[in-house]
Amino acid sequence: MLGVAESRFLRCATILLVCSLVVLTSGPGANAQRFAGSWSGTTSQGKPLSFTVVGDLVTSVTVGAHIVGNFCSADLTTTSTGAFSASGTMFTLIVSGGAGVSFTMTGTFGSTVSASGSLAFTFSQSGCTGTASATWTAMRPSPLQGFATRFYSDVLERSPDPNGLVGWVDFLQANCNADGFHAVAQGFFDSLEFRTIKPHSLEGLVTLLYRTFLGREPDPAGLAGWARLIRQARLTVALQGFIPSVEFRSLLPDRTNRAAVTAVVTRLYQQILGRDPEPAGLQAWVDFIVTSGNLETAAQGFLASQEFESHPQTFRDYVTTLYRTFLNSGPRTHRPRFLGKHPPRHPSPSHRSGLRPVPGISGPRPPGVRLIEWPVSSRRGRSSPGVDLTVPMPSAHLPR
């Protein structure tokens, strides 16, 4: 399940997307609203065809044809050089494509996403003259289709299955608002497919969110800020049931026992970082816990380390790590509440995120020490304001 940080990003980004789609589907002229965009298809000769509708104009026609003439034949691709008015849902173009080619193209927009018509070519060059005729069909992905397809390609890294794509488009047509777009976004990012088989590092996940929602790479400040929020959400999961668990605390009943502390710190290295500890780092962490008795801060430091966050992992991988590290078991299976490949029959946003921006941390930082903030939950499940914690990171030189 998504944390509040991811949900907040999804919410903000989908509102921006709704605004951009409103711009795409509005403007002067009926055809600007209904047919604007790039169309592509094929002719009855099996040749490619494409054109663009801008406002009330059909322009940039590119089409292929096989011409048969007097003792000659030619395969050609020609591109129009002008724009031609479309009248209602029908249009006729008389095009001089250059190199001795001209053609007449008629077409009808059968819907906002499909069109069809006919072509008549004439060709005259180097003593070869000929004609050809063909029919054509073309499609234009609607803004909603393009929106849903981008989630399949960017988030799930695959082509959409036809039923799934139609289902999401139908859902958005009935819920074309911020709540509807948020539900689609959460459906993909919170899907069983994404959470279990699409591993990403922490920064990789934020980068994916930027590419999917904003169509660009993250700026450094944005990358750091959103990574901090997702880090907080992950740490909150660990703090709400794993680090304070009886099972974990029972691993080290005597926190002054150096041999026992060494065994637990080695466990943190192996289970969280996936490697054996380096001698200096192991010694530093053992000294820190024996001196302070603060095993919980040490555990948080490993989970928030740059080394751990750089590991590509799914949310399932993260939870599995928590189980194995702190409960000495694998995660318990449960039925996922929402698979996300197809929209539920009555989808709605799961919640409205009330997470506030986390203020920047000021003041000097000791070398190798990172300051981490996260909402702390009470026993009643309510969040209190963020708390600044000084968490030493796994390092050969920490803690001191």
Q: Which of 162, 396, 127, 389 is nearest to 287 (CA)?
A: 396
Q: Which domains does the chain have, with CATH numbers?
A: 36-139 (2.40.128.30), 220-337+356-392 (no CATH)
User: Could you write out the DSSP letters of every residue in 86-140?
Assistant: -BTTEEEEEEEEETTEEEEEEEEE-SSSEEEEEEEEEEEETTEEEEEEEEEEEE-
pLDDT of residue 204: 93
pLDDT at 361: 26
Mapping DSSP to helix (H, G, I), strand (E, B) and coil, where does residue 55 land? coil
The pLDDT assigned to 287 comes to 95
Q: Point out the least confidently predicted range of 3-7, 16-20, 90-94, 267-271.
A: 16-20
**pLDDT band at residue 324, thresholds of 50, 70 and 90?**
very high
Least confident range from 15-24, 105-114, 156-165, 356-365: namely 356-365
- Confidence class of residue 186 from pLDDT cuts 50, 70 and 90? confident
Structure confidence at residue 274 (pLDDT) = 94
Other C-beta atoms closer than 10 Å to the C-beta of 115 total 24
Q: What is the mean pLDDT of residues 159-173?
A: 83
Using CA atoms, how far residue 40 sits from 35, 46, 48, 62, 135, in Å, is 13, 13, 8, 9, 14
Task: Give the pLDDT score at 277.
Answer: 95
Q: What is the mean pLDDT of residues 340-347?
A: 33
For residues 200 and 365, the model is more confident at 200
Beta carbons of 162 and 170 less than 8 angstroms apart: no
> 114 with 137: CB under 8 angstroms?
yes
CA-CA distance, 346 to 337, in Å (whole number)? 13
Query: pLDDT band for position 331 (50/70/90)?
Result: low
Question: What is the mean pLDDT of the segment spanning 370-376?
Answer: 34
Tokens representing residue 33 in the block: 């609203």
pLDDT value, residue 58? 84
The pLDDT value recorded for residue 180 is 84
Residues 15-68: pLDDT tens digits? Answer: 444 444 433 333 334 444 578 788 889 999 999 998 888 877 888 888 888 888
Dihedral angle, C-alpha 79, 80, 84, 88, nearest 10 °: -20
Backbone angles phi, psi at 315, to 5 degrees: -65, -35
Bridge partners (DSSP) of residue 333 are none
Yes or no: say if 296 and 184 are a contact pair by the CB < 8 Å rule. Answer: no
Mean pLDDT is lowest, of 217-231, 269-283, 334-348, for 334-348
pLDDT of residue 16: 46
175: pLDDT strictly greater than 70: yes
Q: Say if CB 335 and CB 187 are below 8 A apart.
A: no
Predicted local confidence at residue 134, as pLDDT: 93
- Degrees to nearest 5, angle at CA 328 with 322 and 331: 55
Residue 6 has what pLDDT? 53
Whether 122 shows a pLDDT value over 60: the answer reads: yes
Q: What is the pLDDT, as a whole number, of residue 259?
A: 96
CB 235, CB 309: distance < 8 Å: no
